[in-house]
Amino acid sequence: MNDDMTRRSFLKTGSLVLAATAIAGPSGLFNASPVEGASGIPFKPHAFLEIGTYETVTVWVGQTDLGQGTHTGLCMVIADELDAAWETVQVKMALAAEPFKDPLWHAQLTGGSSSFRNRWDLLRTVGAAARQMLVEAAAEQWGIPGTDCVAREGKVFHPDGSSLTYGQLAEAAGKRPVPENPSLKKPKDYQIMGTDRKRLDIPDKVMGKTVYGIDFAMPGMCIAVVARPPRYGARPASHDAKAAMAVTGVVQVVPLEDRIAVCAETTYAAIQGRNALDIKWSDGSSPDLNDETIAAFFKKQLDQPGAVAEESGDAEKALTEAARTLEQSYTLPYLSHAQVEPINCTAHVEKERCRIWMPTQGQTATQETASRLTGLSPEKVEVMTLPAGGGFGLRGEQDAVEDAVLLAKTLDRPVKVIWTREDDFANDRFRPASHSRIRAGLDKDGRVIAWSHKVAAPSVMSRVMPQAVQNGIDPDAVAGIGDMPYSLPNLQVNYVMIDLPVPVGWWRSVGYSCNVFAVESFIDELAHAAGKDPVSFRLEHMEKDSRPYTVLTRLAEKGRWGSPIASGRARGVAVVSCFESVVAHMAEVSVGEKGRITVHRMVCVVDCGTAIYPDAIRAQAEAGVVMGLSTAFHERVRFANGGVKTTNYDGYPVLTISEVPEIEVHIVENPIKAGGIGEPVFPSVTPAVANAVFQATGVRLRDLPFQKDLLLKG
Amino acid sequence: MLTLTVNGMKKEVDVDPGTPLLWVLRDNLGITSVKYTCGIAECGMCTVLIGGEARRSCAIAAGDVQGSAITTIEGLADDHPVKVAWIEQQVPQCGYCQPGIMLQTVDFLSRVPSPSEAQIGEAMDNVICRCGSHPRMKKAIAQAAVLTASQGG
Ligand code: FES
Ligand code: FES
């Protein structure tokens, strides 16, 4: 889309005042109640921004902050172009509404690390337009040209040094037309972007004041837990509603299609009521489904030819001409999001409106779901986005909205649906498992001349966006292969869609989370086969001075690649280019006697374009390492008897503090459009570690999570 | 009727004494900074201090702690060294795990006032932070120890 078009049309639609005023919740971050009409704030140049008489700059956001510091970052972009005084800036979560939809995707959602990269021009333009209006208002008052005035830290300065504050100018500025093409700052003029500010949401989080979705309460509300099928496709054959009703506090038992809800005055009563239901479930659609049958199915499917997802040159022909060929397979398991706040949603359905309070990642989808179930139009569904205890992709799902709305209708009172941890593991939409087989050919000089890659994996898109699946190809399932950071002359990618009852969904870095492990492990194997250094080999296959080339070069420097290393330790690298950013990791590991891998140090180099909020970028890079190592060593969802076997964290350990290595983060200065950060910091962690383990032991770990017994034999 | 002493205040609640303290605090007393995550004493997010000792409230019957001093994150002063260090080091991401982890830190530092990195690792290895705030958590614990010492605490 033409950026300029987006910018202009957005300024028009966005400059309409949003029909909602702020009643700040305890965290100050959400809009608890919608009110018709304006709130008396004199200057609202856009739905994103309000400037009050008392020197308050309020940034309204529609993006969900799942812990990445997105809200603070969004404020930094707008405040910088506005030349606001940072201490006057506050952030508020807006009701779901049209102006907050993603300019490219036309839906309000937080995903794909898109909060900044899809709004880069828009956010800056909003700030710049407001600044220009304030400057013009001052100039008019002084009777001098606007070009003689300077805006700085919440004031407009006269050439004589006197000044007017934004608060003093707000009313006059509010009467001026919104400029269509305000001039944007040059990167060298940024005052707020690129600096480290304290995150606006942190004090409340530390004081325990933040009200997350699961904490929400309102008068008259009851709490529901829902007994969902323990096996895919199972239905309740019988249940004991009386026993549940006998639990003190239980209000009502409501059977819903394939599940049964217990509504109660307290969470504990609802849980106990559910335990008392004594449901007999049918066998479900595939009682034989378990870890073994799933693995066997993947293995068999990987032998299918699959559909050609990408093709350049003639990989098959080049393979026959290669001086040397290599073939390897890699496997990755289903993963749970395991976000700490269980899924929840509160709904109140009234005659003329339906209100939803939820830590949702997909506001538009939430509106549509509630609209479908209530018959109200989507605009009549008011979605209050509450702070979320993590998300990693899962909070775009609408299962809890459905239950909350249906129950709120049935009971005619507000209902908060809570998943227990057991519900969360059993009903997750998992990161797809993925198996791949790669064949490649090297010429006599050790250059890759052919790469033929087959992926067998379930398709997320087939469920969430079927129109994106063409000719049997889910583009997400093969992400990271055709767009790997290497220029290879003959490349073919085939995709075999796995159809199993296990539901899959978006998970941090989506397809890259799987395929980059295979690609970056295999390129390392090729380097070894060619007798070359893994870093030089990668660089030789990259376009010189491209972003990945620069990032990898920087990584080698910062990580002291090739320098002497403590005995028993070894290094490995990996790189990824995705979501308009480039990230590379270097792992330093040792392997102990019993095959125990210790990661001593991780170095991460990030190029995410303009580094708006460096400390939040570092925090994400640290988080990416932790989550990456967690999947390297521990994470794997288990299946048995036709359903999920994993029930809680005791069966799904995640990385703990003593396993966290020293982490160094380096940000490459690259003042272009801001790229993503939450997703790109994840994929290259696991291959960097696997490659380091190979350097240390000569053993290749091609399956996640890593199997220690391989290292014992090695 | 149970009587609980939370953050120095006596509260009466009409619940079955076998109800987990977690749910009494959250649903009956509205103290939602005490978080539910696993319900099986695995994660540490429901941690409160009972007589100064970090305990997992999902695994304690409310009736068993009548008469004990229960402290939640609100019971620590705003300028408590742990809170100050947590803000200074910008620890929280989603923040959901943090109150429990901070309370466990308070207990830990009361027993080990100047811990080594290995001691921190050992003491805090039984908590979960899915967001990966651990590197900052380590720094904040070390800083809180220093702040506490300088306050003569
Ligand atoms: S909720 Fe109590 S330890 Fe997890
Ligand atoms: S900050 Fe999100 S789980 Fe710890």
Single-letter amino acid code for the residue at A684: S
Residue ranges matching CATH 1.10.150.120 in chain B? 81-150
Write out pLDDT tens, residues B80-101.
999 999 999 999 999 999 999 9
In angstroms, the CA B35 to CA A208 distance is 10
Name the phi and psi angles at A207, rounded to 5: -85, -5
pTM of the model: 0.94
pLDDT of residue A63: 86
Output b/e per residue, B22-50; b: 16+ Cβ within 10 A.
bbbbbbbbebbbbbbbbbebbbbbbbbbb
Strand extents, DSSP E, B1-152: 2-6, 9-13, 47-50, 53-56, 69-71
Instruction: Please say whether the beta carbons of B28 and B8 come within 8 A.
Output: no
- Place B151 in a pLDDT band, splitting at 50, 70 and 90: confident
The ligand with the least distance to the CA atom of B131 is: 2
pLDDT of residue A21: 31
DSSP A6-47: HHHHHHHHHTSPPS----B-TTS-BB----SS--S-SEEEET
- Place B152 in a pLDDT band, splitting at 50, 70 and 90: low
pLDDT of residue A6: 34
∠ Cα A225 A460 A361 (to 5°): 55
Closest-CA distance, B77 to chain A, in angstroms, reads 9
Scanning B16-55 for CB atoms below 8 A from A yields 16, 19-20, 23, 26-28, 30, 32-33, 35-40, 42-43, 45
What is the token pair recorded at A620? 């994400």
Pick from A355, A431, A422, A346: which is nearest to A394 by CA?
A431
The ligand with the least distance to the CA atom of A649 is: 1
Ligand 1 centroid to residue B44 C-alpha, Å? 5
Asked if A205 lies within 8 A of B124 by C-beta distance, the reply is no
Contacting residues of B for A421, CB less than 8 Å apart: 37-40
Q: CB pairs below 8 Å between A and B: how many?
A: 166
Residue ranges matching CATH 3.10.20.30 in chain B? 2-75
Strand extents, DSSP E, A239-394: 250-256, 259-264, 280-281, 307-312, 324-332, 344-349, 354-358, 381-385
pLDDT of residue A30: 28
Residue of A206, A221, A421 to mutate when probing chain B, most B C-beta within 10 A: A206
- Collect the ranges in chain A with pLDDT lower than 70: 1-40, 113, 713-714
Ligand 2 centroid to residue A682 C-alpha, Å? 16
pLDDT of residue A470: 95
DSSP A155-200: EEE-TTS-EEEHHHHHHHHHTSPPPSSPPPPPGGG-SSTTS----T
Q: Is the CB of residue A373 less than 8 Å away from at least one CB of chain B?
A: no
**Which ranges of A412-496 does DSSP label H, i.e. alpha helix?**
421-426, 461-464
∠ Cα A41 A46 A50 (to 5°): 30
Write out pLDDT tens, residues B17-63.
999 999 999 999 999 999 999 999 999 999 999 999 999 999 999 99
Say how many CA atoms lie within 13 Å of A677 toward its Cβ.
Answer: 32
* Ligand 1 atom index nearest CA of B35: 1
Q: Does domain B2-75 have CATH number 3.10.20.30?
A: yes
3-state secondary structure of A269: helix
What separation in angstroms does the CA of A57 have from each of A48, A91, A165?
10, 8, 12
In angstroms, the CA B59 to CA B55 distance is 8
Instruction: Please say whether the beta carbons of A123 and A80 come within 8 A.
Output: no
Helices (H) and strands (E) in chain A, counts: 19, 27
Instruction: Please say whether the beta carbons of B55 and B68 come within 8 A.
Output: no
Asked if B138 lies within 8 A of A205 by C-beta distance, the reply is no
Instruction: Please say whether the beta carbons of B1 and B13 come within 8 A.
Output: yes
Single-letter amino acid code for the residue at A73: G
The shortest CB-CB distance from B40 to any of A66, A392, A650 is to A650
Q: Is the CB of residue A657 less than 8 Å away from at least one CB of chain B?
A: yes
Closest-CA distance, B118 to chain A, in angstroms, reads 8
pLDDT of residue A118: 79
In angstroms, the CA A548 to CA A511 distance is 19
Chain A residue with minimum CA distance to B39: A421
The shortest CB-CB distance from B73 to any of A199, A208, A217 is to A208
In angstroms, the CA A212 to CA A218 distance is 13
The residue behind tokens 């600096």 is: A195
SS3 percent helix, strand, coil of chain B, rounded to 5, is 40, 15, 45
What is the token pair recorded at A139? 């100039």
Instruction: Please say whether the beta carbons of B73 and B103 come within 8 A.
Output: yes
Please give all residues whose beta carbon lies within 6 A of any atom in ligand 1, as ranges. Answer: B 36-39, 41-46, 56, 58
Scanning A262-291 for CB atoms below 8 A from B yields 266-268
Pick from A605, A654, A602: which is nearest to A631 by CA?
A654
DSSP A436-451: EEEEEEE-TTS-EEEE
Q: Is the CB of residue A175 less than 8 Å away from at least one CB of chain B?
A: no
Collect all residues with Cβ–Cβ distance below 8 Å to A124 and sequence separation of at least 6: A77, A78, A80, A81, A184, A185
The structural domains of chain A, ordered by start, are 7-203 (3.30.365.10), 214-282+343-418 (3.30.365.10), 293-334+431-711 (3.30.365.10)
Asked if A217 lies within 8 A of B30 by C-beta distance, the reply is yes
Chain A residue with minimum CA distance to B96: A389
Instruction: Please say whether the beta carbons of A218 and A212 come within 8 A.
Output: no
The sign of the torsion formed by the CA atoms of B124, B126, B131, B132 equals: positive
pLDDT of residue A26: 29
Pick from A368, A430, A398, A416: which is nearest to A261 by CA?
A416
Which residue's CA lies nearest to atom 3 of ligand 2?
B129
Ligand 2 centroid to residue A41 C-alpha, Å? 36
The ligand with the least distance to the CA atom of B56 is: 1
DSSP A70-103: HHHHHHHHHHHHHT--GGGEEEEEPPS-GGGS-T
Q: What is the DSSP letter of A297?
A: H
Chain B residue with minimum CA distance to A343: B37
pLDDT of residue A102: 80
Closest-CA distance, B84 to chain A, in angstroms, reads 9
What separation in angstroms does the CA of B40 have from each of B22, B36, B47?
11, 10, 12
Instruction: Please say whether the beta carbons of A284 and A642 come within 8 A.
Output: yes
In sequence order, the β-bridge partners of residue A604 are A585, A665
Ligand 1 centroid to residue A392 C-alpha, Å? 21
3-state secondary structure of A496: strand
∠ Cα A242 A247 A252 (to 5°): 60
In angstroms, the CA A492 to CA A479 distance is 13
Asked if B98 lies within 8 A of A205 by C-beta distance, the reply is yes
Please give all residues whose beta carbon lies within 6 A of any atom in ligand 2, as ranges. Answer: A 67, 340, 390; B 92-98, 129-131, 133
The residue behind tokens 């969802």 is: A637
Q: Is the CB of residue A219 less than 8 Å away from at least one CB of chain B?
A: no
CATH of B81-150, one of 1.10.150.120, 3.60.150.10, 3.50.50.60, 3.40.228.10: 1.10.150.120
Q: Is the CB of residue A648 less than 8 Å away from at least one CB of chain B?
A: yes
Asked if residue B135 has a cis previous peptide bond (ω within 30° of 0), the answer is no
Instruction: Classify strands A569-578 and A581-591 as parallel, antiparallel or unpaired.
Output: antiparallel
3-state secondary structure of A592: coil
In angstroms, the CA A175 to CA A33 distance is 27
Single-letter amino acid code for the residue at A422: E
Straight-line distance from the first to the last Cα atom of chain B, in angstroms, rounded to the nearest whole number: 37
Which helix (H) or strand (E) element contains residue A409? helix A399-411
In angstroms, the CA A691 to CA A570 distance is 9
